[in-house]
Amino acid sequence: MTRRDALVAAAGLGSAVLLSPTAASSAVRPIPFGSAAQIETFRADPRYRQALATYCDVIVPMNDLKWEAIRHDRALFDFAGADELVGFARSQGKALRGHALLWGEALPPWAREMSTRAEAERELVDHIETVVDRYKGQIETWDVVNEVIKFDPLPGEPMRDTIWQRLLGPAHVEIAFRTAARIDPKARLVLNDFNFEEPGPGTAARRKIALDLCRNLKDKGIPVHGIGMQAHLYADKPLDIDGLQNFMVELGKLDLDVEITELDVIDWKLPADIATRDRAAASLVGTFLDTIVSVRRPRAIVTWGLSDRYSWVHETFPRKDKARARPLPLDADFKPKPMMAVLDRYRRSQS
Ligand code: G3I
């Protein structure tokens, strides 16, 4: 029985075991913590703005740097929402992540209708040149590509079926990274994806593909600095502790950073009791972060929102009992939950 198995057995919490608080807090320097910010909520709810200012070292515009927001009209670039959030972050001395220069979703209709390789390459390069140049020196880290890996990869079929893959093939990844690096050589460039965390051959394959894509970029001399783990964790599923630790070892071999980019907990299969759900979610986040940190210190830990009042999880993963999801570190009244205490161990820890 490994030490981990013994911990798991002793904790009786399934895979979601919380290593001793001192194990985490003595291990790492403070890790920048942050959140995604949704412009509509930012404009409408002063408590939301205050929470971003109070808790975050890092802010990422949740939707306002996506093609859907910037390029709704092919003839222009609409930066209104992004500029507002970037301006807020800068005024508050927060670091910024950009999300995302290339994604197969959240595209305006005209982009979804592109039909030739030349058109796709021209639009992709033009978009990245314009967006990265505008925020050069302000947005220090970019999700250059988001979710380019096939959900359930097949042998010889690693890439997700998107307009970019269809028109450009796997080269869409290189084009995106090469262009971003050319415009802002100081920016940190990240490959962002999800579903790296659970046990199973599909998830292991996704981790391997992410590493292979980054290795391919490095072999061609194209700058890539890290892998973004979205980390939308499922409270009813175990973590692949060994798989995650091996992933961190492999990242180290490639001299790649890890960033936790969209952390939240999908609790739709948990009992309704709030204390039970909050404890399980906090424990899962603690186990996940302890596992990562035990091998490699993340450059940042970013949650996909701060308050349960505003989360994609409630609509996307509706509970049968219609109870509101509790995926984030603050409750719907912006009060800290047990998850925030776990996150505090990383965002405030002193080595
Ligand atoms: O801005 C328009 C508004 O003008 C319009 O009235 C309204 C109704 O149609 O839609 C608004 O756009 C919505 C946008 O969020 C801003 O609220 C889009 O329809 C909606 O699809 C979009 O959803 C976002 C989704 O990504 C797709 O872009 C979610 O808020 C956001 O949480 C989610 O985040 C993704 C990450 O980018 C990638 N990883 C997964 C994660 C969760 O799906």
Average pLDDT, whole number, for the chain?
Answer: 93
Mean pLDDT across the stretch 151-166? 96
- Rounded distance, CA 159 to CA 145, Å? 12
- d(CA 319, ligand 1 centre) in Å: 20
Is pLDDT above 50 for 186? Answer: yes
Q: Output the pLDDT for position 151.
A: 96
- d(CA 109, ligand 1 centre) in Å: 15
Count CA atoms within 13 Å of residue 130 on its CB side. Answer: 15
- d(CA 209, ligand 1 centre) in Å: 27
Lowest model confidence (mean pLDDT) among 3-12, 130-139, 321-330: 3-12
330 token code pair: 């603050």
Smallest CA separation from ligand 1 atom 35, residue: 62
Which residue, 262, 347, 288, is CA-closest to 37?
A: 262
pTM: 0.93
For residue 1, what pLDDT band results from cuts at 50, 70 and 90? low
Q: Are 238 and 280 in contact (CB under 8 A)?
A: no
Superfamily of structural domain 3-348? Glycosidases (3.20.20.80)
**Would the CB of 35 count as within 6 Å of ligand 1?**
no
The domain limits of the chain are: 3-348
Catalytic annotation present for 262: yes
**Would the CB of 264 count as within 6 Å of ligand 1?**
no
For residue 29, what pLDDT band results from cuts at 50, 70 and 90? confident
Between 71 and 349, the more confident residue is 71
Residue for token digits 């999700």?
143
Q: Which of 147, 174, 197, 259 is catalytic?
A: 147
- d(CA 4, ligand 1 centre) in Å: 39
Q: Output the pLDDT for position 28.
A: 63
**Would the CB of 63 count as within 6 Å of ligand 1?**
yes
For the chain, percent of residues with pLDDT exceeding 70: 91
Burial track 182-209 (b if 16+ CB lie within 10 A, e otherwise): ebbeebbbbbbbbbbbbbeeebbbbbeb
Q: Output the pLDDT for position 349.
A: 58
Mean pLDDT across the stretch 102-112? 98
Between 12 and 132, the more confident residue is 132
* Tens-digit pLDDT profile for residues 202-251: 999 999 999 999 999 999 999 999 999 999 999 999 999 999 999 999 99
